[in-house]
Amino acid sequence: MNVVSLTVWDLAAVSVFVLLSGLLSLRLSLGVERQLLIATVRMVVQLSAVGAVLTLLFSVASLPWTLLMALVMVLFAGREIAARQHRRLSGWWGYGLGTATMTLAAATVTAVALLGSIQPEPLYDPRYAIPLFGMVLGNAMTGISLGLDTLTTAAVRERPAIETRIALGATRFEALRPAMQEAMRRGFMPMINAMAAAGVVSLPGMMTGQILAGIPPAEAVRYQLLIMFLIIGATGLGLLCAVLGGAWRLTDHRHRLRTDRLAAAK
């Protein structure tokens, strides 16, 4: 198996495309050059740090260290969910709901894969558990953040219609059903688009990486299909729990809409 090694100079050479994008932003007055620079530096630092941590983690193969790494990933992903919402729930709900539902979904699906399909030895082998958990977690994070943002925005925008339904005798979930349905649809859309384009428009990241590493294409395809099925399962489970939890929090036991439980818009 021949693996082509990349040097720092190889990466520096292709980073010129980031520079060109920044210059394009300046030339057209798009105003994204600063965000692009920050995102690029953050990406390089984070991936370099993760690479060093994973090298150490793989050499140890310890359950406590694997769980600690997963916990750090969850905490950062939870912060991203809260940061991506224009009108998030106030108090600890703004962070806790998305983090809890994302963790539940990602951990459940990852456990099923490790115990059933992959069965590494040991089961907590970080070479399998951490990359698998990371891919599932990241996609569940995207779906949940979109779903919660859509739900809270719709609750404010459609407040008169929701309160009218409640006044006419609808329960809180019946009154919020259109907003909940839209939240679920929007949360599923990135994953549906990725599945529809996979193989024809683009080669998914994991499959591309395995092929570049010398894995036979047929084997890489099977692994990619496994990942896609796991991701859609985690996204669906996490979305459902998050949207139901958000709708429950946005109302009370008297079936009143409680937009006062939302933090101020960013």
Last residue of a domain, one of 45, 60, 75: 60
My answer on whether 25 and 142 are in the same domain is no
- Mean pLDDT over residues 72-84, rounded? 91
Residue 1 scores a pLDDT above 60: no
My answer on whether 250 and 145 are in the same domain is yes
My answer on whether 68 and 49 are in the same domain is no
Quick one: angle between helices 126-157 and 217-249, nearest 10? 40
- pTM of the predicted structure, to 2 decimals: 0.84
My answer on whether 9 and 80 are in the same domain is no
- Looking at residue 3, its pLDDT comes to 59
My answer on whether 170 and 89 are in the same domain is yes
Name the DSSP letter for residue 259.
Answer: G
Last residue of a domain, one of 20, 44, 60: 60
Residues 95-106 pLDDT 10s: 999 999 999 999
Domain coverage including residue 253: 62-261
Is 125 contained in some domain? yes
User: What phi, psi does 30 have (nearest 5°)?
Assistant: -80, -25
Work out how many domains the chain is built from and give that number. 2
Is 266 contained in some domain? no
My answer on whether 90 and 164 are in the same domain is yes
Is 133 contained in some domain? yes
- Looking at residue 246, its pLDDT comes to 94
- Looking at residue 145, its pLDDT comes to 94
My answer on whether 70 and 40 are in the same domain is no
Residue 5 scores a pLDDT above 80: no
- Give percent of the chain above pLDDT 70: 96
- What does the alpha-carbon distance between residue 190 and residue 194 come to, in Å, rounded to a whole number? 6
- Looking at residue 202, its pLDDT comes to 66
How many angstroms separate the Cα of 149 from the Cα of each of 19, 30, 81, 83, 255? Answer: 32, 25, 9, 10, 21
